[in-house]
Amino acid sequence: MKILALETSAKACSAAVTEDKQILASCYQNTGLTHSRTLMPMVESMLKNADLRMEELGAVAVAVGPGSFTGIRIGVAAAKGLAFAAGLPAAAVSTLEAMALGLAHMDGLIVCAMDARRSQVYNALFEAKDGILTRLTEDRAIGLSELAEELRNNPRPKIAVGDGGTLCQAALTQAGVSCALAPQRLLHQNAVGVALAAEELAAAGKLTTAQALSPVYLRPAQAERLQDRKKKENGT
């Protein structure tokens, strides 16, 4: 099954098509331009240059979060539109799991991290061994100090990955927890990982519909938190 995947959870934007774990096409951009401007032209150009048509695809996958609220909304909306228009099933992929798949060949504890502000990261832990990735925690928002304490007595080699990887690695090192940083070429989120994760979902019969796709934020947006605070202050 050919799977078209989209990744817009952070600053970088990417799209890819895989089939049976082989990359047929991919496009990646990390120039700071808005995803609303770059994503769809990127997808259209990639498919055209690879001589691929939507009717050849088996599913549309997208990183549904956690990550940038705006970025995730753009990616999910695009995936819903593409899947619905082509009558294709969809795959809702964890941003953190997709990035971990890029390091499945590096034995150790994969510490996925995205900057969640306020000294927190969106995080999940995975064990990579002999090319097999095993999830150890659910996706979560966790304080850097709390994460350091959780990992302090874990003897396995640790590798931080994700757009918050540098922040996480620095905080862990400062707390006395040894942690390496993923190679720069594998550090940031990439749609290839989303596609590979989607292949696993398809094999397990866990695809969904375009209508059912929805973002996963893990915590409310800043605007929602401010609104709730004002309601409490006003006693409403």
Rounded to two decimals, the pTM is 0.91
Place of tokens 């969640």: 116
Q: Which pLDDT score is estimated for 109?
A: 98
- Structure confidence at residue 219 (pLDDT): 80
**180-181 vs 158-161, strand pairing mode:** parallel
Cα(48)–Cα(84) distance, rounded to whole angstroms? 20
Cβ–Cβ under 8 Å, residues 135 and 97: yes
Q: What is the pLDDT of residue 15?
A: 98
Q: Determine the angle formed by the axes of helices 165-174 and 144-151, rounding to 10 degrees.
A: 60
Let me know: does 214 contact 80? Beta carbons within 8 Å: no
User: What pLDDT, on a 0 to 100 scale, did the predictor assign at position 234?
Assistant: 61
pLDDT of residue 222: 45
Q: What is the pLDDT of residue 184?
A: 94
> For position 229, what pLDDT does the model report?
47
What's the pLDDT at 232?
53
Identify the pLDDT of residue 233.
Answer: 55
Q: Which domains does the chain have, with CATH numbers?
A: 2-95+190-225 (3.30.420.40), 103-187 (3.30.420.40)
Supply the Cα-derived Rg of the chain in whole angstroms: 18
For position 51, what pLDDT does the model report?
Answer: 97
HEC string for 129-181: ECCEEEECCCCEEEEHHHHHHHHCCCCCCEEEECCCHHHHHHHHHHCCCCCEE
Question: What's the average pLDDT block by block, 10 residues per block, for the chain (236 residues)?
Answer: 97 97 96 93 97 97 96 98 98 98 96 95 97 97 98 97 97 97 96 98 98 91 46 57
Which pLDDT belongs to residue 32?
87
Helix (H, G, I), strand (E, B) or coil at 115: strand
Query: Residue 223's pLDDT is what?
Result: 41
CA-wise closest residue to 60 among 23, 17, 95 = 17
Predicted local confidence at residue 58, as pLDDT = 98
